[in-house]
Amino acid sequence: MKDSTEEKVVGFDELVARRKRAKVEGFVKQLSDTYGSELLDRLRLMHEDHLFTLQEVALEAGVTGEAIHQWYQRLFNKPYVRTRPEKDRPSERPLPIEKLSHMEPGTSIYKGTLAEVIFQDKCELLGYEVHIPPMTVFDFSVNKHVVEVKSCWTICYPNPGYEHGYWKFSIQEGQLFAEYLACYVSTLEKFSIIPTKELIKEKGMTGSLYVPVDPTRNNLFWKYLSAWELLCH
């Protein structure tokens, strides 16, 4: 009789565990479908390696810090707390090259971070003063200009047989508070240094930047392609 009771208890516990896993898996799929797999990667790295702060993840996703806090708690079954003692925290945020070693090559978050590495290398090659701002969520301070790096690694086609295609840069509203967007296209191996005030004037504060592959089309990306001189003063 005792063994039968234990089996029932074990069976009930397993059922509860399965339901919890199913809820978490469903929530993960919902986040991935809505915000992309990169959000999940950032949450994982925020949890495991403290490579991202709650505010950084919120800015990239275009949501509030409270939303990230709630999602974190649902995924990891505990509230978000920076667990490292203050004395062990670096005085500045990790460099992009340091983050890469914690990421899976080929993922969207890896590619985005790789673009940051390429951007930093280019700025240093030009002799610019480059910093990772410790007290802000933006990517770089270049000669005291605040810069947010965006990247695109594939050509999009609105429908089959589309003649030229386009590159798409997803831009959250908070990122437009930077002075410049450094938009990198991997196939060109070049950046466009776009003043955010120009982008806001053209598109407002929300939405994505669509860049036609055809350079003869009028677009801010082509207008400011390789305009590194904007960051030199």
Q: Residue 95: what pLDDT? A: 83
Collapsing DSSP states into helix, strand and coil, what is residue 215? Answer: coil
* Banded pLDDT at 117 (limits 50, 70, 90): very high
pLDDT(85) > 90:
no
Provide the pLDDT confidence category of residue 14 given band limits of 50, 70 and 90.
low
Q: What distance, in Å, lies between the first and last C-alpha atoms of the chain? A: 83
Contacts of 40 (CB under 8 A, 6+ apart): 28, 31, 32
The third-level CATH classification (topology) of the domain covering 96-231 is Trna Endonuclease; Chain: A, domain 1 (3.40.1350)
**DSSP 8-state symbol, 163:** S
pLDDT in tens, 97-113: 888 888 888 888 899 99
Q: Calculate mean pLDDT across residues 52-71.
A: 78
Give residue 127's pLDDT: 94
For residues 208-223, average pLDDT: 86
Could you tell me which residues come within 8 angstroms of residue 28 by beta carbon, excluding any fewer than 6 positions away? 40, 75
Q: What is the model's pTM?
A: 0.67
pLDDT for res 87: 40
Q: Is the pLDDT of residue 195 over 60?
A: yes
Q: Model confidence at 16, in pLDDT bands (50, 70, 90)?
A: low
Question: Does residue 198 register a pLDDT over 70?
Answer: yes
> Tens digit of pLDDT for each residue in 19-48?
667 677 778 888 877 877 777 887 877 777
What secondary structure does DSSP assign to 2-65, as a single string?
HHHHHHHHHHHHHHHHHHHHHHHHHHHHHHHHHH-HHHHHHHHHHHHT--S-HHHHHHHHTS-H
Flag whether pLDDT at 114 surpasses 80: yes
Q: How far apart are CA 101 and CA 81, in angstroms?
A: 23
